[in-house]
Amino acid sequence: MSFFLLRRTGGLVLTLLAISIVVFAVMNVLPGDPALTILGIDATDDARAALRVQLGLDDPAPVRYVQWIAGIARGDFGTSYSFGVPVAGLIAERLPLTLSLALSGTLLTLVIALAAGLYSASRHGRTGDWAVMILSQLGIAIPAFWLAILLVLLFAVNLRWFPPGGFPGWSDPLGSLRSLVLPTIALAAVQGAVLARVTRSSALEVMRLDFVRTARATGLSPARVLWRHVLPNALVPVITIVGMQFAGVVTGTIVIENVFYLPGLGRLIFQSIANRDIITVQALVLMVAAVVVLANFAVDVAYALIDPRLKARLA
């Protein structure tokens, strides 16, 4: 187990470094002058040169890269060009919202996928199965942001059950929860549709295995066989896809935050793009990519925890 973890952690660090190089290269080596974008074309050459020195842009790119990474290692992501405050602070302020949305979205995705997928598998070839499959095919084709708009139209504009967007702040817990309901549904419905198919086919495969027959021969109820015996064994491929989909959940969160005007990292990215705040965008992009990579890492470790056979092999 420890060797496995060690090797995977090594790979993780290398991957993160590689990603940071790519991000830095795209944002800094490509032509473009942050001083020009910040000050505008009316500024004098002197003013721009002064700003470049102030931002540390006169150093060669490799030096700036090392400084950037060293700063991140200390928790210093640099100072935002447009807000004039540390980027780390900006992130810390908005992270809880994005994290809650991503987590609640993933949770609801799993609930939808497992319930629909298992139901569909247990009704294999019958009407219920068909209905779920048609719904999920539709769900895969629906853009999350359009579903979000439809939800706003129905539940906010017409029924007025939930706010159409915005966030009251965590000091109002009930209001915060209410404003996260529609974004969570929009995020989870589409991801859940994809995952429901995976769950169904995985469960169908498990249901053909001998131990399911043993469980039936033991007189266990179909529900018990399904949830206690089929589900755990069907989970491994499902978790793989959850890991692969996590990139989708994260970008989905960025999109959904913009649909609902939620002040999270996704909004921050777009504000920073509008402000040409390269250092902030750079930090955020790196963070999001890192989250995706970390999620895949977590999935690998989760396998070993679920499957005792794997655990034995890794020991």
Query: What residues are paired with 86 via a beta bridge?
Result: 79
Cα–Cα nearest to 269, from 283, 249, 256, 248: 283
216-225 contacts, C-beta under 8 A, 24 or more apart: 222/122
Query: What gap in Å lies between CA 281 and CA 266, rounded to an integer?
Result: 10
Query: What gap in Å lies between CA 27 and CA 261, rounded to an integer?
Result: 26
Question: Given candidates 101, 116, 268, 281, which one binds other proteins under the rule CB under 8 A?
Answer: 281
The residue (of 172 and 212) whose beta carbon lies closer to other proteins is 212
The residue (of 161 and 270) whose beta carbon lies closer to other proteins is 270
The residue (of 140 and 170) whose beta carbon lies closer to other proteins is 140
Write the CB contacts of 235 (distance below 8 Å, at least 6 apart in sequence).
202, 306
- Within 145-184, the residues that bind other proteins by CB under 8 A are 145-146, 149-150, 152-153, 157, 164
Q: How far does CA 143 lie from the centroid of its chain?
A: 16
Rounded least distance, CB 199 to other proteins, Å: 15
Write the CB contacts of 233 (distance below 8 Å, at least 6 apart in sequence).
206, 209
User: Is residue 259 a contact partner of residue 183, using CB atoms and an 8 Å limit?
Assistant: yes
- The yes or no reply on residue 238 touching other proteins (CB under 8 A) is no
The residue (of 174 and 274) whose beta carbon lies closer to other proteins is 274
Query: What gap in Å lies between CA 75 and CA 95, rounded to an integer?
Result: 15
Helix/strand number for the chain, H first, E second: 14, 0
The residue (of 75 and 219) whose beta carbon lies closer to other proteins is 219
3-state secondary structure of 86: strand
- The yes or no reply on residue 19 touching other proteins (CB under 8 A) is yes
- With CB under 8 A as the contact rule, which of the stretches 71-79, 102-110, 176-184, 284-292 interacts with other proteins? 284-292
- The yes or no reply on residue 137 touching other proteins (CB under 8 A) is yes
- Within 295-314, the residues that bind other proteins by CB under 8 A are 296, 306-309, 312
- What are the tokens at 16? 């993160």
The residue (of 54 and 218) whose beta carbon lies closer to other proteins is 218
- The yes or no reply on residue 221 touching other proteins (CB under 8 A) is yes
Question: Given candidates 113, 182, 259, 268, which one binds other proteins under the rule CB under 8 A?
Answer: 259
The residue (of 61 and 172) whose beta carbon lies closer to other proteins is 61
Rounded least distance, CB 138 to other proteins, Å: 7
How many residues bind other proteins (CB under 8 A)? The answer is: 70
* CB contact burial 242-276 (16+ within 10 A = b; e otherwise): bbebbbbbbebbbbbbbbbebbbbbbbbebbeebb
User: Which residues of this protein are in contact with other proteins, per CB under 8 A?
Assistant: 15, 18-19, 22-23, 26-27, 30, 32, 137-138, 140-146, 149-150, 152-153, 157, 164, 209-211, 213-222, 224, 228-229, 232-233, 247-248, 250-251, 254-255, 258-259, 269-270, 272-273, 276-278, 281-282, 285, 288-289, 292-293, 296, 306-309, 312
